[in-house]
Structures are given as structure tokens and as C-alpha cells.
Homo-oligomer: A and B are copies of this chain.
Amino acid sequence: MAEPLFDRVAIIGVGLIGSSIARAARKAGLARTIAAADQDASVRERVAALGLADEVFERSGEAAAEADLVIVCTPVGVCGPVAAEIGPRLKPGAILSDVGSVKGAVVRDMAPHVPAHAHFVPAHPIAGTEDSGPDAGFAELFDGRWAILTPLESADPAAVAALRAFWEGAGARVDTMTVEHHDLVFAIVSHVPHLIAYNIVGTAADLEEVTQSEVIKYSASGFRDFTRIAASDPTMWRDVFLNNRDAVLQMLGRFVEDLTALQRAIRWGEGDKLFELFTRTREIRRSIIEQGQDTAAPDFGRRNA
């Protein structure tokens, strides 16, 4: 096997994403040694039992010391305190990264704690499931999926290249964009869709006219697809909305504006407006299938995803 890309990689927070990175790094031989930190004793036990890391620590700082690459895989809301603990322990030349679904707030909260002798390169892998925890992860999670790097202007090109190589080694395709653009793109393709899925499931649960058991029984007619998204981790998603507030509110504003127009078209019986929109949206689905981001098969191709 070729030389590992990194001598020592530290994973901070061994949940779905953290444990998948550990598994992928192990499988592809990306690190000579994998260190892991999790605050939760039961998680540390599972990490040891599953053999996900060579060394398991309670304190993030302990795991990060001596590491060449440290990846923070906690919810976005605690990235700041975690960075505060890790920062002083980073060795010269070390790369600090993360996997947060929001980038602006992560940069705001983590960057101040990164010493001048280390490199901070924020990242976001576009892969996940609605499950959490170390048992939910798997090595193939990132295969063929995008990982987005959002390096700051001052970033060291060699550090960015090394992180890119790591993600490519884990199976991902890598893109770079600015922090600001990232947060707008994911507000519309991910955050607002999650918010409206949570919202419609909540609305349906609270109705008096329709019982919860009816909602569950007849969910196959459309509702069901929303419930899967609305089963995503509450902590992660609370942190996403609190930390990408401006972009989410901006995109939500557009969504509501368009919805109001649709509502009006229904009220006034303007079938042509409805038909025009419903035809246009089909094209987008077609492009997604053509570009291999989904399949037309009844299982959505996810059996092997």
C-alpha cells in the first residue's frame, strides 16, 4: 500500500459523520494512526468495540495533540468551544477542518482559536442519512458524493490540496467555493427543504380534523417522503438553523412568496399557472437523474448508496 496521506488523523465527535470518516480513512489507508475523541463514555466504548480508532480520548485536546489533520465532527453549535480546546494543542503545520453543514458561523466561531502555525480549512461533505451515532456510519458514505471545501482567502494552498486529497481518498469528489456562497446554496438545497419537511409533519400532527393514525396510515400518498427528512437529528438541525439564520430566512422568504402566488392561483382557479409550474419542475428532476444524483429506479438507487 502507498504511504498514508497523514501520519495521524484526529476525529473529534464520533457520530454518523465522524465514524464514517474514520472507517473510510481506515479502509483507504489515509492515516497511519487514527485518534478519536468523544465526550460521551458510551460512544467511546462503541468506538473501541468497533475498532474505529487506534486511540480514544475523552478530551478533544488530547486527541488533537500531535495530529497532522484534525476534523471536528460535532454539531455546528459547539464548534467554537471545541476549537477553543483544540487550538492551543495544534502542532506546527497541522490542518484543522470540520464537516459542518453551515460554514459562515463555523468560520466565525473556530477561526479565532487557530494558532498562526496551523492551517484552518473548513469543509462540508454532502452525504448523510437520517441516523446518528457511531453505529450509523459506514465507509462508503462518501463514495461519489461531493465534499465542499471553503478555504479562506489567506489559506495555504498546500493545506487545501492535502485536505482535498484526503476527501478524494475517502471516495468523494471535491469542489471549492466561498463560505458565503456555500451558505446560500445549502440554504436552498438543504436547509429550507428540511425546515418545510419538519413543518408539514408538525402541522399534520397537530390537526384536529384528521387523526394522527390516519396521517400515518395513508402516508404513502406523498407525506411519507417528508417524514424521512423530518426524522433527521434535532440537535444538528437546530444548530443549522440558528447558525445559518440570514441565508435561511432569505430563501424562506422566496419560498413563501412563491407559495402565496400558488395559493392565489388555486383560489382563483388559474389552472394554466399551476400546469406551467408543474411542467417546469419535471425538467429539474430529469436533470438530476441524468447527472447521476438520483435514479429513476423504484428504490432511488439507494440500496447501494
Does A126 contact B238, Cβ atoms closer than 8 Å? Answer: no
Question: Which of A222, A229, A302 counts the most B-chain CB atoms under 10 A from its CB?
Answer: A222
**Does A288 sit within 8 A of B, measured CB to CB?**
yes
- State in angstroms the CA–CA spacing of A245 and B286 once bound together: 29
A180-215 interface (Cβ within 8 A of B) = 184-186, 188-207, 209-210, 212, 214-215
**Does A219 sit within 8 A of B, measured CB to CB?**
yes
Q: How far is the CB of A79 from chain B (nearest CB, A)?
A: 15
**Does A154 sit within 8 A of B, measured CB to CB?**
no
Does A220 contact B145, Cβ atoms closer than 8 Å? Answer: yes
Partner of A220, one of B206, B234, B274, B293: B293
**Does A78 sit within 8 A of B, measured CB to CB?**
no
Q: How far is the CB of A191 from chain B (nearest CB, A)?
A: 8
Does B282 contact A234, Cβ atoms closer than 8 Å? Answer: yes
Q: How far is the CB of A263 from chain B (nearest CB, A)?
A: 6
Knowing A266-B245, A299-B299, A299-B303 are in contact, say whether A203-B188 is a contact too (CB < 8 A). Answer: yes
Does B258 contact A224, Cβ atoms closer than 8 Å? Answer: no
Does A210 contact B230, Cβ atoms closer than 8 Å? Answer: no
Q: How far is the CB of A212 from chain B (nearest CB, A)?
A: 7
Knowing A202-B277, A281-B201, A298-B303 are in contact, say whether A189-B293 is a contact too (CB < 8 A). Answer: no
Contacts of A297 in B (CB 8 A): 303
**Does A50 sit within 8 A of B, measured CB to CB?**
no
1/0 contact trace for A133-145 toward B, CB 8 Å? Answer: 0000000000001
Does A269 contact B281, Cβ atoms closer than 8 Å? Answer: no
- State in angstroms the CA–CA spacing of A143 and B207 once bound together: 29
Knowing A199-B259, A218-B146, A255-B200 are in contact, say whether A189-B284 is a contact too (CB < 8 A). Answer: no
> Which candidate, A27-35, A110-118, A159-167, A246-254, is the interface stretch facing chain B?
A246-254
1/0 contact trace for A216-252 toward B, CB 8 Å? Answer: 1111111111111111111101110110010011011
Knowing A185-B214, A288-B219 are in contact, say whether A259-B298 is a contact too (CB < 8 A). Answer: no
Contacts of A266 in B (CB 8 A): 241-242, 245, 248-249, 252
Known: A217-B293, A238-B271. 5 other contacts (CB 8 A): A130-B285, A230-B285, A231-B281, A234-B282, A249-B263
Q: Closest 8 CB pairs between A and B?
A: A234-B278, A231-B285, A299-B299, A190-B221, A193-B222, A299-B303, A230-B281, A190-B222
